[in-house]
Amino acid sequence: MSRLAAVLIVLGFAALAALPASCFVHRASDDYGCGSDGDCKDGRVCDTTGFCVIASSASCPSPCTSCDVVDKTCRIECNSGKPCGNVQCPPGYDCTIRCTNSGACGSIDCAQGRSCDIACLGSASCGNLNCGPSSCSVRCSGVAACPSVDCAASCSCDVDCNQSNECPSMSCPIGAGPCTANGSAGAPCDSSEPGCGLCLRL
């Protein structure tokens, strides 16, 4: 037998020996795929990449500047050095959103969030605000800081603004009557009125 033939035989056996290991190896990562935290065990959380990871190594979802992935809190800071454009609170998170100068934020959507605390500080600092069904607290300061605030579907909504120039268009929830500062339509939203502020936390 030639030396070349012997080498080819040895290589062939090595390839066959390696084949079952590569074909039938159990990949641990397959057990950690997830769509939500409920798919994870052992105190792990579902990361933004779709895998169950130890909470301390989980990354913040976009657009959070900082977050706590266990408590599901997200802080979003938008300013002249870091304008955010349109902002969406991540699903299931309590979001604190700060837009601190003109043009810092575009439209803000909290429809999928667990709650939102929004401050639009500066002329035209925010675009339209959609609170969705969850708790929403909004503070507007500056001409046209909050051009439109929609929290008609919110379980609890409080808006602090001068409606004549800071938040000219606003829709509030309905409890025993309009959930507004004076109980009349047209005033800033206020969750302390009867039948208002009825959020349930799971």
pLDDT tens, 37-84? 778 877 677 776 778 876 655 799 999 999 999 999 999 999 999 999
**pLDDT (0 to 100) of residue 8:** 46
Report which of 184, 105, 117, 176 is spatially closest to residue 151, judged by C-alpha positions. 117
Residue 36, phi then psi, degrees to nearest 5: -155, 170
pLDDT tens, 181-197? 888 888 899 999 999 99
Query: pTM (2 decimals)?
Result: 0.73
3-state SS assignment for residue 54: coil
**pLDDT (0 to 100) of residue 3:** 56
Q: For residue 24, what pLDDT band results from cuts at 50, 70 and 90?
A: very low
pLDDT tens, 87-142? 999 999 999 999 999 999 999 999 999 999 999 999 999 999 999 999 999 999 99
Report which of 122, 91, 121 is spatially closest to residue 109, judged by C-alpha positions. 91
Domain ranges of the chain: 30-59, 61-202
For residue 7, pLDDT over 80 is answered with no
